[in-house]
Structure 1
Amino acid sequence: MGKEFTTEEGIRAMEICALNVLAQIVEKVGEENILGLNHIDAYYQSLDDWDDAPIVVDGASDLFVKVLGDAGHHSRAIFGVHKLPRNFSVGLTVSLTMI
């Protein structure tokens, strides 16, 4: 972020990441079995002086609420990292409650 990707592109990358997470959850446990999203850990790569991480992570947070409604509300932690696997720009881990 801040070099090869703009903040707006980072938001879109986080939305795509969240969609991938939702697709995996639906495939593995089924949407009907989700009681709620508890917490997300969001990871991003950036330049040292880039400081729009909360705005970028809103891309995932907003999408979860849009798709899951009240069940999509969650707490979150945001981590700037030196490197992500395969040089991804963003990544997510999600904790949820299921039936």
Structure 2
Amino acid sequence: MKEDTVTTPTSPSPVSDRSARLNMRITPEALETLREAAAAQSQDVTSFVLGAALDRARSVLMEDLLLRLTPAEEQQIDAALDAPAHAIPELAAAIRKANGQRVQ
């Protein structure tokens, strides 16, 4: 029976589990930039690109998860944005005090 392998959140999958492929075409300049950056991190280009892409993908997914609203929450926001504006006396007073000017 195969044991589970543990990876850190930013590390690529273990080599033994890699079976999928991802190919892309890039400019020679982009490739050179990736080579230089990978070398600066003592990594090969594949590991560098995979690590960076996974970091970004996880960040995007986490942001999406945190910002996702339920239909009820969307309706609340829409209603608040559609409601007529009204003055908040305390806020106007604070602005007048901060600016030393009259705010209406």
TM-score w.r.t. the length of structure 2 is 0.23
The structure whose RCO (Cα within 8 Å, separation 6+) is larger is 1
Q: Which has the higher helix share?
A: 2
Which of these two proteins has the greater Rg computed from alpha carbons? 2
